[in-house]
Amino acid sequence: MNNTTKIVTGIAVGTLIGATLGLLFAPKKGSKTRAILTDKAKDLSTKLVIPMCRLKKC
């Protein structure tokens, strides 16, 4: 692995660990956190599908 790959891998792993810890220690109830995550995931998928569709000319 070269240095760039190590740096990108480290950033990705650090982000995942930080997000996981943030969810574990979040002050909201689990049901509310799951609902928020579901909404955010739907929003993100919509934001990604539209540009991808434009690239593929759906």
Summarize pLDDT for 5-58 with one digit per residue, the tens.
889 899 999 999 988 888 778 788 878 888 988 898 888 888 878 777 777 776
Q: What is the pLDDT of residue 27?
A: 81
Provide the pLDDT confidence category of residue 2 given band limits of 50, 70 and 90: confident
Q: What is the pLDDT of residue 51?
A: 76
Q: Tell me how far CA of residue 47 lies from CA of 8, 18, 33, 41, 51, in angstroms.
A: 24, 24, 21, 10, 7
Domain ranges, ordered by start, for the chain:
3-56
CB 34 within 8 A of CB 41: no
